[in-house]
Structure 1
Amino acid sequence: DGLAAFPARDESEFDTFGVGHSSTAISAGLGMALARRYQNDPCEVVSIIGDGAMTAGMAFEAMNDAVAHHANLMVVLNDNDMSISCSTGGFAKHLAAIWERGEFVNVTEEGEAYVQPHPEWLYNSRLHSAATDAADNLFKAIGFDYFGPYDGHDVQQLVHVFNALKKRTGPRLIHVYTKKGKGFAPAESDQIKYHAIGKLNAVAAVKMAPKYSDVFGQWLCDEAAQDKRLLAITPAMCEGSGMVQFAKDYPERFFDVAIA
């Protein structure tokens, strides 16, 4: 009898599509943008997706199709170095390469793009070293207009960017860098715990029984100590799957495949 954990159309008129997990926003937005085109409605459609969610194949399928249709679609990539756990893999390293280039693509009020050195960023805490040539840009390579990375907490600048980009057509990606939990100190200091939090009462908060994932994680370590064939795979859920200790004890047998 509580709120749905994900968008649910039967719960709110503002939930424009139903979903059970991440990485679906660009697909949904693309469908809406193409429907608007056939209705001759110039309404702007904006899809917002995190850097962790962007690691799923569905997101790339949608970007590929958006370019094929030259869809009028804005994609906001909210980059905070996090999925539920820390972001991993080649895409995270690619974002680091874009960051390390030391410049960003800005836009004039008329919608014209230009490149300039980026300022001293307040939220520069990139956790990855670049594995690719910093001159590369995946989004531009597949046909998106790319802008950023912008300070995602600078609201006035973002208003300027969105107003300017309304003057452009086709698929556009706005890369913003943010701090997960910004403005709420407990979430800033423990981003994994506060990715989502359930209801706690005063008694339960003092002494909680082990969660299922805790029991599973301990079992996994016990079994791995006896059987070298045991490997563990998680989709960006090391903590949620209770695998933190396993990953520490058996790093060569632990695979975080990101949000697959």
Structure 2
Amino acid sequence: LIAAALAGVLIIAVPVAVIAPGWPPAGWTLVACDVGQGDGLVLSTGEPGRGVVVDTGTELGEMARCLDRLGIERVPLLVLSHLHADHIGGLAAVLGGRAVGGIAVGPGRSPGWAWRQVTEVARRHGVSLVELTEGHLLDLPNLGLRVIGPRYVSPAGAAEPDGSEINNTSLVITADTRVGRVLLTGDVELAAQADLLASDVDVRADVLKVPHHGSRYTLPAFLNEVGPAIAVISVGADNRYGHPNRGTVDMLRRAGALVMRTDTGGDIAIVADEEGPIVVRRK
């Protein structure tokens, strides 16, 4: 939150949400794309037609259409938080017709079929793969990225991990932007959240991409430590998983966060404003 003192009174600028009269809104900094039951986000570099992409939604191509709506033609970096289908499925469509500087992945290589798919799509489009691990720093125009997780990944040769274990290998990244600090969490669940809390890393953020589509596998202590003013949930309407969990949404609201959902708001943009961040929904 942005605060200012006026005549001895503390005024706190609370984020507000409005419906866009046109799209994209001028000065957008972050957009959570409406990709159905999946994740797909774009961070602006402030340069026309350029943005960093984090996850690509499903194979249905919603992420590519979101990028088209934003006018994104060049992607200096495309980050895949982890290798589940609802995060990597739209990779080929996103790469089609766009200049992509590189694809960043975390240390996880499971499921095996998904890793093979990512490497094949990258090879076919001539885009290099780079591995990000905890401690990596990336400096882009108007955007600073720091990798703070995962803190633990199963060793090579271990049995194929289950869904929760794969979720917990998600890259966790802080992004310093014009609207403050954004925490990108992939699908981290209880164990990975606990690892972050047990470390000395600062997880506080102005904007939180809520882990795992707002599932019930969310620690109250983690949400309280992050303390976001804005919480964005990327989720599909009437999905079979029951996301987002009502308890998780209630925890965020009790903590003072403005909760925005792609299933009800469509594409969601966060815009920098002199009075504080403005949240603009496409529908």
Name the structure with the higher strand share. Answer: 2
- Name which one, 1 or 2, has greater alpha-carbon Rg: 1
Q: Shorter chain as normaliser: what TM range?
A: 0.3 to 0.5
Instruction: Give me the TM-score of the superposition, normalised by structure 2.
Output: 0.31
Higher-RCO chain (CA-CA 8 Å, sequence separation at least 6): 2
Instruction: Give me the TM-score of the superposition, normalised by structure 1.
Output: 0.33
